[in-house]
Structure 1
Amino acid sequence: MNAYIVYKLITKSEGVPGISDKVHEVWRRFSDFLGLHDKLFEKYISKGVIVPAAPEKSIAAMTKTKTTSDPATSREVAVRRARQLERFIRRVVQHPKLRVDCDVRDFLTLE
């Protein structure tokens, strides 16, 4: 069985070019965040723009989650990862170039 966790992102956009002023709610998997990071890195590395580091995919945490039947352990891993993902997204949207990128906009607003 391939279990995975989806994370709910709620974004309130006000005065952001290309995004309507409203609250957006989307669901993303961890791999979606890694995909966004890779897109941004490829797009901006040659322009000298530093893209915030993506959260690391911890093999130990994944193994621990898949091999335990304890819901508390799975929840602990999910909460820790959610904090890392939130930190990554906050850094991206605080960056003057990345915050207006179309891939970032789509990631935060399109299901």
Structure 2
Amino acid sequence: LQIAIIDLVFSIDSIITAIGMVDKVEVMIAAVVISMFVMYLASGAVADFIERHPTTRMLALSFLFLIGAALVADGLAFHIPRGYIYFAMGFAAMVETMNVWAQRRRRKRISRTK
């Protein structure tokens, strides 16, 4: 049941993200199908990762906020080029990856000194 609920939440998230990021229906459908399949297979690993690295949850929520803001702006006839959104998301993901690596190195260093 937990996997099904997580799958549903991430499917809705994927639909919103796909609608906000692309203009082609085929890409939207592919994003939803792929995300459902991946979440079904990897929901436990993803939940464990998010549990170990809670800042990734905040990053994902900020991505949703960014995409939602872009959709609202588009609805108000204020177009934000998608390249800016892609760059912001990519940069944030890169910074978060570096934070996770640094945190892992700190833990290893602390465990060696004990």
Q: Same fold (TM over 0.5)?
A: no
Q: Which has the higher contact order (CA 8 A, sep 6+)?
A: 1
What TM-score do you get using the length of structure 1 for normalisation?
0.34
Q: Which structure has the greater CA radius of gyration?
A: 2
What TM-score do you get using the length of structure 2 for normalisation?
0.33
Greater fraction of residues in helix = 2
